[in-house]
Amino acid sequence: MRRFRRRPGLLPLRLLRTFRFRSGRAMGLPRPVIRRLRRAHVFLQAGQQSEAAEVFESVADEAADQGLPHAAPLSVEAGAAWILAGELERGLALAERGLDWLREGESGTRLAILRDRVVAALRQTGHAAEATALAQKYAGAAAASAPPARADLPAACPQCGGRVRPDEVEWIDPATAVCDYCGSVLKAGVE
């Protein structure tokens, strides 16, 4: 009977998933995409919303094509960036696409958090009527309130550089959360 040897460097899928989860690396997003997200966050911090929106939109489209769960929040983030850049129609279309995906996935808390982020961008740019309409459109499907922050998380994701909001992230356990942008595992107390 002939025995097959496993090639060096290849791990069984079960071990690979465990390693990726524990290592904090972004799950489902390749390194070039993580670099692009990091660049988008740098653009946002520099006040270059249109450049950041372009990157967020392209990454959201790629994630949607691959069926990754990051597509909805990235689409909403792209929409908010376009709104801040002054392109209201394009921004609203992307934001509503992402919010619709979240509504279909029955993610009430995430929907409420991201809806509020878009409403804040609309109000910041002087579009109060659109903000009210968006808030009313997604009010029924959204949860009443966000869960409380459970631990001290880093201010930014170590992988993609995205801003970490402890009251808005998806929590795995009381000391571990998932990055909104790239899906990296964030541990409390680690900078």
Give Cα 148 to chain centroid, integer Å: 19
Q: Which amino acid is at 80?
A: A
- What are the tokens at 76? 């909403």
How many CB atoms lie under 10 A from the CB of residue 160?
24
At which residue do the structure tokens 């804040």 appear?
120
7 found inside a domain: no
83 found inside a domain: yes
Interatomic CA distance for residues 13 and 38, integer angstroms: 28
3-state helix, strand, coil in the chain (%, to 5): 55, 5, 40
22 found inside a domain: yes
62 found inside a domain: yes
42 found inside a domain: yes
25 found inside a domain: yes
With cut-offs at 50, 70 and 90, classify the pLDDT of residue 15.
very low
**Which strand (E) or helix (H) includes residue 157?**
none
Report the number of distinct structural domains present in the chain: 1
Please list, in sequence order, all residues whose beta carbon lies within 8 angstroms of the beta carbon of residue 108, skipping any fewer than 6 positions away.
141, 142, 143
3 found inside a domain: no
**Tens digit of pLDDT for each residue in 19-49?**
344 444 455 578 888 899 999 999 999 999 9
116 found inside a domain: yes
If you average pLDDT over residues 52-79, what whole number do you get?
A: 90
DSSP conformational letter for 187: E
**Beta-ladder partners of 156:** 163
Domain that includes residue 131, residue range: 13-187
Q: Is the pLDDT of residue 14 over 80?
A: no
88-104 vs 108-124: helix axis angle to the nearest 10? Answer: 170
pTM: 0.74
DSSP conformational letter for 159: T
**Tens digit of pLDDT for each residue in 94-123?**
999 999 988 887 667 788 888 998 999 999
